[in-house]
Amino acid sequence: MATEIIKQLEHVRRKISKKHQRQERSRIGQFLTPAPIAHFMADLFQRDIEDVRILDAGAGGGILSAAAVEILTSRKGRLQSIEVTAYESDKQVLPYLEDALARCEALCDESGIKFHSNIRGKDFITDGVFLSEEGLFSGDGDRYTHAILNPPYKKINSQCKMRRLLDSAGIEVSNLYAAFVWLAARMLESGGEMVAITPRSFCNGPYFRRFRLDLLKMMALQRIHVFESRKKAFREDNVLQENVIFHAIRTKHTPLYLTISSSEDDDFHKMNIRRMPYQRVILPHDRDAFIHLVLTDDDKDVMRRMQRFGLPLDELGIEVSTGRVVDFRAREHLRSQPEVGTVPLIYPCHFEHGFIRWPIVSNKKPNAIVSSSQTRDLMVPKGYYVLTRRFSAKEERRRVVAAVYDPKRINVPLIGFENHLNYFHARGKGLSSNIARGLALYLNSTLFDQYFRLFSGHTQVNATDLRKMRYPTREQLIQLGTYVNKHMPDQEIVDVILQKVCANDG
């Protein structure tokens, strides 16, 4: 009996998915949870209590509530009553939600457990901001004991009413999914549990910093499950986000350990699982509270090897910025080939064997930008710079690809770096030749790329991410630089050089 409702709701999920056009589902962030994932999520709940109050925010057809009810009633514990509060703003799916909760009621009746449901066919954010305000609840008794959610994934427009509402509650997020999680966390009682499936993007990066800090202050992460394939968790919906499921408890006490697991897709039998000291996943002095998803022995080894590089970039006197020329905004100043009055405009297509080759014959990207009072601020002075690509195709071998801009090869007073690049510099000016070469070698090493992937779930390489990394000392960079002459050595040689120059220092 235990998984019957979830199985039936899997058919409902298909029906709803067919009814709404993909475009429409995308607009309202409606990607419904497949049955095996719903089951896995609900099974992460741990508490054995008499009276359960479940919050399902963005409930869709109710599969997550149903999974929670099925799992909790199937356990032989102290359970006596369940109340489900389900928010869903899409009126079209409400009949399915009502049906799912009616099935839950029947199941509870059979098991002699009291059941009550509240369907709230309205916006969760408006209610959540109001209801989660401190002081509104008379005590823990009004708060939820469990929250289970697959929140809508949708950018929050900076001008909209919802944005203002969230601002008023001190909730600084750019995506609806984080707002749902944040509010749900606030609506939990002390000791209450949350299980959510969300994109992995909140684990790092500047946009989710406040969210991470506040979430980790309110909640103790117990478990994070990572889907290794970007496509497979919501494969029928063709969702390309990297997803994680996490389980957290509302408490101020940080646990000593947390569990990290991973699976290719929703076949949880083939799961990789490990217990990690909490402080290895969220480093104690990290002001950005990045969540490092360390999965395998190899990953652990990468973390260990990276520990020998202790220097933040600013202590090296080096900064990293994003290229200032946004090509579509400077269209009238762009030239296909250099001409009098122009300076080089560098794109990723100019990378060749670890250096910049310019100009090139390309009918896609311009090689030059007009130098005038209007464009002057977009340019940097002649010097050695290290450039990295900001975007990589998802199946590419490397995320981080670096090249040296060598002023001896392109002898011009000013250069424009396009916005698809990040550039390393010394307060807006060039670096020394050997530091630039050594830094490019380090960035091109397998170790650096592996470490980068550990905490970055997306294909973008942001300047903030690069600032967060650890770097070798100046002396090591200079020494590494001596190995880079006309072009960057092959990958194996890069890795051997890094090992040779830096191995004895850690």
Ligand X SMILES: C[S@@+](CC[C@H](N)C(=O)[O-])C[C@H]1O[C@@H](n2cnc3c(N)ncnc32)[C@H](O)[C@@H]1O
Burial zone of 224 (CB within 10 Å; 0-12 exposed, 13-18 middle, 19+ buried): buried
Considering only residues 43 through 62, tell me which ones interact with ligand X, judged by CB under 6 A: 58-60
- Parallel/antiparallel/unpaired status of strands 272-277 and 243-250: unpaired
Q: Measured from the CB of residue 458, what is the shortest distance to ligand X in angstroms?
A: 19
**Strand order in 81-87's β-sheet?**
114-120, 81-87, 51-57, 144-149, 188-199, 243-250, 219-227, 257-263, 272-277
Sign of CA dihedral 189, 256, 76, 196: positive
Q: Which is nearer to ligand X, 98 or 123 (CB)?
A: 123
Stretch (H or E) spanning 349: none
Say whether residue 150 binds ligand X (CB under 6 A). yes
Between CA 246 and CA 409 the distance in angstroms is 50
| Residue reference for tokens 């429409």 | 24
* Of 42, 104, 132, 152, the one binding ligand X by CB under 6 A: 152
Angle of the 94-111 helix axis to the 63-74 helix axis, nearest 10: 10
Say whether residue 266 binds ligand X (CB under 6 A). no
Q: Measured from the CB of residue 61, what is the shortest distance to ligand X in angstroms?
A: 6
Q: Which is nearer to ligand X, 125 or 258 (CB)?
A: 125
Looking from the CA of 241 toward its CB, the CA atoms found within 13 Å total 19
Stretch (H or E) spanning 424: strand 421-425
Which residues have CB under 8 Å from 134's CB, separation 6+?
Answer: none
Tokens coding 87: 């928010």
Say whether residue 227 binds ligand X (CB under 6 A). no
Q: Which is nearer to ligand X, 89 or 375 (CB)?
A: 89
Q: Which is nearer to ligand X, 57 or 82 (CB)?
A: 57
* Of 40, 96, 124, 208, the one binding ligand X by CB under 6 A: 124
Q: Which is nearer to ligand X, 186 or 468 (CB)?
A: 186
Q: Which is nearer to ligand X, 88 or 299 (CB)?
A: 88
* Of 6, 66, 100, 125, the one binding ligand X by CB under 6 A: 125
- Contact between 42 and 195 (Cβ < 8 Å): yes
* Distance in angstroms between the alpha carbons of the first and the last residue of the chain: 57
Tokens coding 323: 């290229």
Interface size with ligand X, residues (CB under 6 A): 21
Q: Measured from the CB of residue 89, what is the shortest distance to ligand X in angstroms?
A: 4
Q: Measured from the CB of residue 273, what is the shortest distance to ligand X in angstroms?
A: 23
CA 105 from chain center: how many Å?
37
Stretch (H or E) spanning 403: strand 402-405
Considering only residues 202 through 221, tell me which ones interact with ligand X, judged by CB under 6 A: none
Between CA 342 and CA 412 the distance in angstroms is 10
Say whether residue 30 binds ligand X (CB under 6 A). yes
Considering only residues 377 through 396, tell me which ones interact with ligand X, judged by CB under 6 A: none
User: To 10 degrees, the CA torsion angle through 416, 420, 425, 430?
Assistant: -30
Say whether residue 263 binds ligand X (CB under 6 A). no
Say whether residue 32 binds ligand X (CB under 6 A). yes
Q: Measured from the CB of residue 127, what is the shortest distance to ligand X in angstroms?
A: 8
Q: Measured from the CB of residue 242, what is the shortest distance to ligand X in angstroms?
A: 15
Say whether residue 128 binds ligand X (CB under 6 A). no
Select the span of 22-30, 306-314, 346-354, 360-368 touching ligand X (CB under 6 A).
22-30
Between CA 177 and CA 456 the distance in angstroms is 18
Q: Measured from the CB of residue 90, what is the shortest distance to ligand X in angstroms?
A: 4
Q: Measured from the CB of residue 353, what is the shortest distance to ligand X in angstroms?
A: 45
Considering only residues 62 through 81, tell me which ones interact with ligand X, judged by CB under 6 A: 63-64
Considering only residues 83 through 102, tell me which ones interact with ligand X, judged by CB under 6 A: 87-90, 93
Q: Measured from the CB of residue 376, what is the shortest distance to ligand X in angstroms?
A: 46
Q: Measured from the CB of residue 245, what is the shortest distance to ligand X in angstroms?
A: 11
Q: Which is nearer to ligand X, 33 or 175 (CB)?
A: 33
Answer whether the bond into residue 359 is a cis peptide, omega within 30°. Answer: yes
Nearest residue to 39 (alpha-carbon basis) of 16, 70, 62: 70
Stretch (H or E) spanning 453: helix 446-455
Q: Measured from the CB of residue 196, what is the shortest distance to ligand X in angstroms?
A: 10
* Of 123, 140, 288, 495, the one binding ligand X by CB under 6 A: 123
Residues that bind ligand X (CB under 6 A): 28-33, 58-60, 63-64, 87-90, 93, 123-125, 150, 152
